[in-house]
A and B are shown apart, each in its own frame.
Chain A
Amino acid sequence: MTLSTPHLLGIKDLLPADIRLILDTAQQFKDVLQRPVKKVPSLRDVTIVNLFFENSTRTRISFELAEKRLSADVLNFTTSSSSVAKGETMLDTVNNILSMKVDMVVMRHSATGAPHFLAKHVPAAIVNAGDGINEHPTQALLDALSIQEATGGLEGKKIAIIGDIMHSRVALSNIYLLTKMGAEITVAGPPTLIPKYIKEAFQVNVTYNVKEALEWCDVANVLRIQLERQNQPLFSSLREYNLAFGISRKLLDEIQKNIVIMHPGPINRGVELDSDVADGNESIILQQVENGVAVRMAVLYLLSNRES
């Protein structure tokens, strides 16, 4: 049994069986990470380059750790200290790296479709670590694993995705994944941050009232306000956003129901999530980070057999 695709470009291309396979494999890697020796020799002869054309802490460290736990050789690349600053094209950069016998590429880029372009032109397995406002597939997979652990499954579960839906690749990947696995989704946030035809396009519920979404859901995945991608003012101030759409302890107490709070990080404390909620009992934010390594190990392991 293998994945139906040679790359992981987005959840959009995956079959439900692929998602199941990745999650089941991740579960086994999670066990590996509890052992005294947290490392397996599976990718001993594989070289992986992490190409980060956009800033990242969590994702890059998580990928690097996953690669090292699989015994792969790891190269790290960030644009600020590279020839990209001298004007080299992305394709040239990648081909130069691949000519040094690299087998897999993990890539983050601020342009939507950059990994898809690369997959068409280079002979290596590509893993998308976030492309612009399109997809962030490993985040959706680790969110799914975390939801599964917290609630016992995905099918029929009610998931609210709250905040900046418009600019969030996490939201899109989550919507694809959860719909494929039979969960129900409500997106909530200010009208300016929710795409107009999302309801028709993805069969999700839409509400502009966060309290309503919280009352409905089993799990609330709260997203970061992506100020760096907003080139026009879409709400009047962060304080006003917090008052209308932020999740506070008071709001959680009012809904009289136990829900699970998730956040893909980095958190803007006091904007989308108040500190006492982010650090509260409902929060599984740090479990998400823990699951990230196992999920990325599973993805790299399952894509590693491509003959190059």
Chain B
Amino acid sequence: MKTILNEQQISLTIKRLAHQVLENHIDFTDTVIIGLQPRGIYVSDKIAAELRSNLKGKVLNYGILDITFYRDDVRREIKVPNKTDINFSIENKNVILIDDVLYTGRTIRAALDALLDFGRPLKVELCVLIDRRFSRQLPIQPDYTGKVIDALISQKVIVHWKEKDAATEVVITE
């Protein structure tokens, strides 16, 4: 097991991601952010908090989306669903999807499907903490990337959060 990012680095990276998002969407009147269940919400919670502190009281629409029912491997393994909470319209909005690790791209494919059931967004962007490039199985690329990692298919890249696990860190395991 090797640590790629420690808590301080993660926190700085997330601040940077939030500022890059902010740069492109200044006042957030037509932009919403949506974190992906189950582990992307730890990233999106922190990005939402950073955005709110910069938006000075303006409303930030922030939702969470569970893609369990939209997976393409439902029949191979039944996954337990998590909560979806999107209490605003995404019709004609810029949607920024947030996840922790972008790997094969299949989760994002499912998320795009799920999103369309809530309305027709004007534009969808993708923000990830970790991009495992060269392992994509679908033509999906992030718009905002925390850190790019080259890892073998046999290796696992996991983001731990101290809210849930022992410490906040990004590790790579064999």
Q: Which residues of A contact B (CB under 8 A)?
A: 1-2, 21, 24-25, 28-29, 31-32, 35-37, 39-43, 45-46, 301-302, 304-305
Q: Is the CB of B74 closer than 8 A to any CB of chain A?
A: yes
Q: Cβ of A24: which chain B residues have Cβ within 8 Å of it? A: 80
B117 touches A39 (CB 8 A): yes
In chain B, what residue has the closest Cβ to A45?
B75
Known: A25-B81, A40-B69. A35 touches B74 (CB 8 A): no
Q: Cβ of B70: which chain A residues have Cβ within 8 Å of it? A: 40-42
The total number of A-B Cβ pairs within 8 Å is 51
Grouping DSSP codes into helix (H, G, I), strand (E, B) and loop, the B interface class, with mixed when no group exceeds half, is loop
Q: Which residues of B contact A (CB under 8 A)?
A: 66, 68-71, 74-78, 80-84, 113, 116-119
Q: Cβ of A302: which chain B residues have Cβ within 8 Å of it? A: 78
Grouping DSSP codes into helix (H, G, I), strand (E, B) and loop, the A interface class, with mixed when no group exceeds half, is loop
Taking the closest CB of chain B, its distance from the CB of A42, in whole angstroms, is: 5
A37 touches B117 (CB 8 A): yes
Pick the contact of B81: A28, A35, A305 (CB < 8 A).
Answer: A28
Give the residue among B81, B82, B84, B113 with the most A Cβ atoms within 10 A. Answer: B81
Within the assembled complex, what's the spacing in Å between the Cα atoms of A21 and B75? 18
Could you give 20 example pairs across A and B, Cβ below 8 Å?
A: A2-B78, A25-B80, A28-B83, A28-B84, A31-B83, A32-B84, A36-B119, A37-B117, A40-B69, A40-B117, A41-B69, A41-B70, A42-B69, A42-B74, A46-B75, A302-B78, A304-B74, A304-B78, A305-B75, A305-B77
Q: Cβ of B113: which chain A residues have Cβ within 8 Å of it? A: 41
Give the residue among A21, A41, A45, A304 with the most B Cβ atoms within 10 A. Answer: A41
In chain A, what residue has the closest Cβ to B74?
A42
Q: Cβ of B116: which chain A residues have Cβ within 8 Å of it? A: 37
Q: Cβ of A43: which chain B residues have Cβ within 8 Å of it? A: 74
Within the assembled complex, what's the spacing in Å between the Cα atoms of A36 and B87? 12
Within the assembled complex, what's the spacing in Å between the Cα atoms of A1 and B119? 31
Q: Cβ of A21: which chain B residues have Cβ within 8 Å of it? A: 80
Taking the closest CB of chain A, its distance from the CB of B154, in whole angstroms, is: 25
Known: A40-B70, A41-B113, A42-B69. A305 touches B76 (CB 8 A): yes
In chain B, what residue has the closest Cβ to A103?
B75
Considering the complex of A and B, which 7 residue pairs feature the smallest CB-CB distances, nearest first? A40-B69, A37-B117, A28-B81, A42-B69, A305-B78, A42-B74, A1-B80
Give the residue among A25, A36, A42, A43 with the most B Cβ atoms within 10 A. Answer: A42
Other A-B pairs, 12, CB within 8 Å; known A31-B83, A42-B69, A301-B69: A28-B66, A28-B84, A32-B84, A35-B117, A36-B118, A39-B117, A40-B69, A40-B70, A41-B69, A45-B75, A301-B78, A305-B78
